[in-house]
Amino acid sequence: MSTTDRTTERPDGTRAVTRWLPGFILLSAIWGSSFALIKLAVDDGVAPIWVALWRCLFGALALLAVCALRRERLPRSRSTWGHAAVVAALLNAAPFALFAFGEQHVSSLLAGVINATTPLMTLVFVLALVRGERMTLRRVQGLLLGFVGVLCLLAVWRGLAGGTLTGTLACLAATACYGAGFAYTRRFFSGRTESAVALSAAQIGAATVELALVAAVTGTAPTLPGPVASIGLVVLGALGTGYAFLLNLQVIRAAGATIASTVTYVTPIWSTVIGVVLLGEPFGWNTLVGGVLIVLGILVTRSSPRPR
């Protein structure tokens, strides 16, 4: 997850579909597959903090390489780096570690569906942090519908206990961090004069340092995973945290921010297919219903009442 340049909505975004649809599908596949890559790493014994650290390190290296190719300088302002540190903690360091911890207890399939609650979490923090935003009846209805979807994912009728609850709560805490991070980014970070690539390189670099400090303080030693998990971590960082940002920016510029944001609805499809087909994870009816309710809740919060 990264900041984007200030762009205006393109009214013809849906017309030139061939300009943005291939990138949109590729982006959803990259982000949807990230949960399976996390699962491979944690199942191979990599500690959650190191899953997040390797992911940010390889992502930072990819973005720094892009900056070098484009001859773009990193931010020099202290305030920019201060805000980058906050954004890095909320959008990268904390949620990456939380998702890795959560997937020690739940499937990558379920983690991918829970990730779809990010827009709902973002709305909650936007209402609290961004001036001019207000709660409406439709937004309340959407939030409640999404909450029911989460309860369905949890299968509350079976009782709330065990590792599944722990893992689910960790994944929900990660999406809450995303929500706070997006709201903070919107108010304090995305409007700065530096390019999106430079800001994102600073953000992911700051996250790498933060995670390294946490690993040092907690004394968590680095784990040497097997070849499959190692390749997965490189792909997770370089593609899922580095290249995916550039792809996301291209989609925003070609189709507009509104269409680009709908990638959240598609990533659970990829995480579900990959989890079931490649990892052999179980898929229950409550996962499908819960995911549908969450997406419906998002659509309700974004809809406008019909004029009389």
CB 283 within 8 A of CB 112: no
For residue 3, tell me if it sits in a domain.
Answer: no
Question: Which residues fall within 8 angstroms of residue 105, CB to CB, at 6 or more apart?
Answer: 163, 164, 166, 167, 168, 170
CB 286 within 8 A of CB 155: yes
Question: Which residues fall within 8 angstroms of residue 308, CB to CB, at 6 or more apart?
Answer: none
For residue 295, tell me if it sits in a domain.
Answer: yes
CB 33 within 8 A of CB 233: no
For residue 278, tell me if it sits in a domain.
Answer: yes
Alpha carbons 231 and 248: distance in angstroms, whole number = 23
For residue 157, tell me if it sits in a domain.
Answer: yes
For residue 2, tell me if it sits in a domain.
Answer: no
Total number of domains constituting the chain: 1
The range of the structural domain enclosing residue 210 comes to: 17-302
Q: What rounded mean pLDDT belongs to the chain?
A: 80
For residue 156, tell me if it sits in a domain.
Answer: yes
Cα-Cα-Cα-Cα dihedral of 92, 98, 103, 105, to 10°? 180
The per-residue pLDDT for 252 is 66
For residue 126, tell me if it sits in a domain.
Answer: yes
**Tens digits of residue pLDDT in 5-33:** 444 444 444 446 677 788 888 988 898 89
CB 123 within 8 A of CB 298: no
For residue 10, tell me if it sits in a domain.
Answer: no
**Tens digits of residue pLDDT in 207-257:** 999 999 999 998 888 877 888 888 999 999 998 888 886 677 677 667 665
C-alpha angle 125-128-133 in degrees, rounded to nearest 5: 100
| Whether pLDDT at 59 is above 80 | yes
